[in-house]
Amino acid sequence: MGETAATDTGPAAQAEDWAAAFFNDADKLHLPTLMNWFGEAIDLRLGNNPPITGLDNVHQTFEQFWSTLKGMKHERQQLVVDGDTVFQGSIVTYTRLDDKQVSMPVASHLRRRADGRLDRLWIYIDMSPLFTEE
């Protein structure tokens, strides 16, 4: 699949593989780019934590988490598509502020509305290995 402008324009782009475009944008750790993907009624869930709803709360959540990272890279292992809903299983490599890299499995469930913006991002991950000191 060739490169398209979709990787930089969020939901406005009609990317053939919109999930890849989303994760490419997420891996940039650039909050304005990521936030462009979300609709007002975004439902963010991180593991078994309470749901995080609304753009302001989601913005704060990513801002706080990303302040602990230097980098992040998703390597797709599996993609299941059902219309405007996708499940992606990935190995995500996080680069911590101390330059230590930690790779771990992550399952993500995304759903987009007719306008291309996401109203659901559910992320299933055990974050403890990321913050464990060796």
Q: What is the CATH number of the domain that holds 75?
A: 3.10.450.50
Q: Is there a domain that residue 112 lies in?
A: yes
Q: Residue 43 forms beta bridges with which residues?
A: 53, 120
**1 assigned to some structural domain:** no
pTM assigned to the model: 0.84
For the chain, the domain total comes to 1
Tens digits of residue pLDDT in 9-19? 444 334 469 99
Count of all residues that appear for the chain in the document? 134
What are the tens digits of pLDDT across the range 58-104? 999 999 999 999 999 999 999 999 999 999 999 999 999 999 999 99
Q: What is the mean pLDDT of residues 35-49?
A: 95
Q: Rounded CA gap, 129 and 27, in Å?
A: 19
Q: State mean pLDDT over 107-116.
A: 96
102: domain range? 6-131
DSSP per position, the chain: ----THHHHGGGS--TTHHHHHHHHHTTT-HHHHHTTEEEEEEEEETTSPPEESHHHHHHHHHHHHTTEEEEEEEEEEEEEETTEEEEEEEEEEEETTS-EEEEEEEEEEEE-TTS-EEEEEEE---HHHH---
- Residue 14 covered by a domain: yes
Q: Is residue 117 part of a domain?
A: yes
Decide which of 51 and 8 is more confident: 51
For 55-70, the pLDDT digits (tens) are 999 999 999 999 999 9
